Amino acid sequence: MRRAKAAVAPYLLALPAWIWFAIFFVVPIAAMASVSLTTGNILEGFQQTLSFSNYADAVGQYHVQLIRSLIYGGTATVIMLLLAYPVAYWIAFKGGRRKSMYLFLLLLPFFVSFVLRTISWGFLLADDGILFGPLKSAGLLPGDFHVLATDVAVIGGLTYNFLPFMVLPIYVALGRVDPRVIEAAYDLYASRWAAFRKVVLPLSLPGVFAGVLMTFVPATADPVNARVLGGTGNTMIGNIIQTEYMTNNDYPTASALSFTLMAVLLVGIFAYARSLGTENVLEAAAR
């Protein structure tokens, strides 16, 4: 009796989530795949023609924005990694009793809406805002100096918005490094630098991997920073997909673009996992 109950229990527990994932995740992705192969328009309806021309058209038309997004996302990720590693290192090894306070301070931005945070950067960087306004009137900056609507503003915004997602996984990985292993390196006459390069750094790579995964994907696909901080020359693929769906109602092109973006990101992630020697992406992400 109890055995039968125990056998049914996990299925009953999992069922609601399975239903939710099936109806609102698996089916929609399949629906989008189907829509990406149709032709037609919103007024006359879309016919399923199983044509891949949408993909060719979409990539042909928007490869500039697609490549730009990858460059922005990639650059922001590299900068985040360089900025985040020393912070994570210091908190993990030197934070002492104040570790949780430092982590709390790093997470403070998450208590402010993502959109609002980005707009606050717009305030700070405005052409005549509180940062550049006084400098300009003092003659320290030329009158036409501006940061908004440039590559720097958008990449800076992406870096700012996702930085904590890079710090946390690296911090967790570093926190798991056994201090005795580092002591052993010193006992074997390793210099500080050698101990770091040969012992600490390799042990922290799973954290680096998770951090890159958690920042590169959302940064590349983000439409908010480009819209708030960028100009017409900084449009990213996220903005294009939004416009194609919401303004142009061109669902086939938009679906094809979404899939292309996802495919490019997946290929990137797996290639990156390979190069790092991580056999299983799922496992690495679960750690």
Partner 1 sequence: MRGKFGDRLLHGYTWLIIAWLTAPIAVMIIFGFNDKKSKSNTSWQGFTFRWYRELFADSSLTEALVNSLQVAVVSTVLTTVIGTALGLALGRHRFRGQGTSNFLVFAAISTPELVMGASLLSLFVSGNTPRGVVTITVAHVLFSLSFVVVTVRARVVGLDPSMEEAARDLGAGTWTTFRLVTLPAIMPGVLAGAMLAFALSIDDYVVTSFVNGSTLTFPLWIMGAVKVGIPPQVNVMGTLIFGIGVAIAIANAIASRRRT
Nearer to partner 1, 18 or 52 (CB): 18
Residue list 169-188, contact with partner 1 (CB under 8 A): none
- Binds partner 1 (CB under 8 A): choice among 55, 102, 162, 209: 102
**What are φ and ψ of residue 223, in 5° steps?**
-95, -10
Structure-token match 């125990």, residue found: 6
Bridge partner residues of 41 (DSSP): 45
Q: How far is the CB of 275 from partner 1 (least distance, A)?
A: 18
- Binds partner 1 (CB under 8 A): choice among 164, 206, 211, 230: 164
Please report whether residue 287 would count as binding partner 1 according to CB under 8 A: no
3-class SS at 30? helix
Residue list 122-151, contact with partner 1 (CB under 8 A): 122-124, 126, 128-130, 133
Q: How far is the CB of 207 from partner 1 (least distance, A)?
A: 16
Of the ranges 138-146, 170-178, 199-207, 238-246, which one interacts with partner 1 (CB under 8 A)?
238-246
Joined together, the tokens standing for residue 234 give 């900084």
- Binds partner 1 (CB under 8 A): choice among 223, 268, 272, 287: 223
Q: How far is the CB of 109 from partner 1 (least distance, A)?
A: 5
Q: How far is the CB of 266 from partner 1 (least distance, A)?
A: 9
Please state, in angstroms and rounded to a whole number, the distance separating the CA atoms of residues 153 and 198: 36
Residue list 39-98, contact with partner 1 (CB under 8 A): 83, 86-87, 89-91, 94
Joined together, the tokens standing for residue 50 give 């199983």
Q: How far is the CB of 86 from partner 1 (least distance, A)?
A: 6
Q: How far is the CB of 277 from partner 1 (least distance, A)?
A: 20
Of the ranges 2-10, 55-63, 182-190, 201-209, which one interacts with partner 1 (CB under 8 A)?
2-10
Please report whether residue 120 would count as binding partner 1 according to CB under 8 A: yes
Please state, in angstroms and rounded to a whole number, the distance separating the CA atoms of residues 191 and 3: 59
Q: How far is the CB of 199 from partner 1 (least distance, A)?
A: 16
Structural contact between residues 35 and 251, judged by C-beta atoms closer than 8 angstroms? yes
**Helices (H), ranges, 176-280:** 179-187, 192-195, 201-221, 224-229, 237-246, 251-276
Number of residues that bind partner 1 (CB under 8 A): 85
Residue list 190-209, contact with partner 1 (CB under 8 A): 192
Structure-token match 């590559």, residue found: 151
**What are φ and ψ of residue 281, in 5° steps?**
-60, -40
Residue list 254-273, contact with partner 1 (CB under 8 A): 254-255, 258-259, 261-262, 265, 269
Please state, in angstroms and rounded to a whole number, the distance separating the CA atoms of residues 143 and 128: 9
DSSP per position, 151-195: HHHHHHHHHHHHHHHHHHHHHHHHHTS-HHHHHHHHHTT--HHHH
